[in-house]
């Protein structure tokens, strides 16, 4: 079995920030790949709005099967677990606090905690406030994951689509009073990856790293 498939079989919960395609594109084939082997449903944690989009626009038989109505020999293959923005919910042994962020569609960031540590994830966002309040008051924070989708040259597009650029990110990070934990950049648009990394490097933001997709991090 490939490492990829082994890893997939260990994933039993999926937590969604919002329903944009670059955040859900892997989900249909992920469920499809595991369909026959599941001995319990994959739990999809999302807001009611995101679940509605998935059921209406993706798992609607036209784009892909409506997995919520299908069973394998062991029972249901997916189950939606709705959460409300701004509340805390649990995923296995983890506590997940959701917080509204500032994106083109309803979207949430998360503070994810176990008994020892926490990390914060913005999801897609432009300038935001509530996320930083939670970050700043967290006493066990080990990492902040923040988006930087577009290069500075595409500032208009970033503004219209509610994303960050390196310059906007630098201003955003001035709201952060956590002085120790590393800041990882995520959700870089692949086409602009080198350009964005170059611009971020020029800004010399302390403790800034680019998150490597596929690498396992322990925080």
- The angle at the Cα of 202, spanning 190 to 166, to the nearest 5 degrees, equals 50
162 binding Zn ion? (CB under 5 A): no
Smallest gap, in angstroms, from Cβ of residue 52 to Zn ion? 16
Nearer to Zn ion, 124 or 172 (CB): 124
Stretch that binds Zn ion, among 17-25, 92-100, 145-153, 205-213 (CB under 5 A): 17-25
172 binding Zn ion? (CB under 5 A): no
- The angle at the Cα of 40, spanning 73 to 4, to the nearest 5 degrees, equals 100
Strand, helix or coil at 39? coil
Smallest gap, in angstroms, from Cβ of residue 18 to Zn ion? 6
Nearer to Zn ion, 5 or 25 (CB): 25
Question: Alpha-carbon dihedral of residues 78, 19, 8, 187, nearest 10 degrees?
Answer: -170
Q: Which residues inside 81-140 make contact with Zn ion, applying CB under 5 A?
A: 124
Closest C-alpha among 13, 11, 33, 29 to residue 21? 29
Size of the site for Zn ion (CB under 5 A): 2
Nearer to Zn ion, 20 or 97 (CB): 20
147 binding Zn ion? (CB under 5 A): no
Nearer to Zn ion, 113 or 147 (CB): 147
Distance CA 16, CA 58 (A): 14
Smallest gap, in angstroms, from Cβ of residue 124 to Zn ion? 4
DSSP string, 94-161: EEEEEEE---SS--EEEEEE-SS-EEEE--S-SS-SHHHHHHHH-SSEEEEEEE--S-GGGHHHHHHH
Distance CA 32, CA 15 (A): 18
Smallest gap, in angstroms, from Cβ of residue 112 to Zn ion? 19
Smallest gap, in angstroms, from Cβ of residue 109 to Zn ion? 12
Smallest gap, in angstroms, from Cβ of residue 103 to Zn ion? 6
Q: Which of 19, 20, 42, 102 binds Zn ion (CB under 5 A)?
A: 20
What is the number of residues in the chain? 219
Residue numbers of the site for Zn ion (CB under 5 A)? 20, 124
């Amino acid at each position: 079995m490939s490492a990829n498939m082994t890893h997939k079989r260990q994933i039993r919960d999926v937590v969604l920030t919002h329903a944009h395609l670059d955040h859900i594109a892997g989900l249909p084939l992920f469920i499809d790949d595991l369909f026959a082997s599941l001995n319990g449903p994959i739990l999809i944690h999302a807001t009611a709005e995101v679940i509605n989009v998935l059921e209406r626009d993706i798992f609607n038989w036209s784009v892909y099967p409506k997995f919520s109505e299908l069973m394998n020999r062991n029972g249901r293959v997916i189950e939606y677990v709705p959460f409300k923005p701004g509340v805390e919910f649990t995923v296995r042994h983890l506590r997940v606090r959701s917080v509204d962020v500032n994106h083109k569609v309803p979207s949430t960031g998360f503070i994810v905690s176990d008994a020892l540590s926490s990390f914060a994830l913005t999801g897609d966002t432009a300038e935001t406030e509530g996320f930083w309040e939670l970050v700043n008051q967290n006493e066990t924070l080990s990492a902040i994951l923040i988006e930087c989708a577009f290069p500075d040259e595409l500032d208009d597009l970033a503004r219209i689509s509610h994303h960050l650029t390196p310059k906007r990110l630098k201003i955003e990070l001035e709201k952060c009073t956590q002085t120790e934990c590393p800041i990882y950049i995520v959700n870089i648009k692949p086409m602009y990856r080198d350009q964005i990394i170059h611009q971020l490097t020029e800004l010399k933001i302390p403790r800034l790293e680019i998150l490597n997709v596929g690498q396992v991090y322990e925080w």
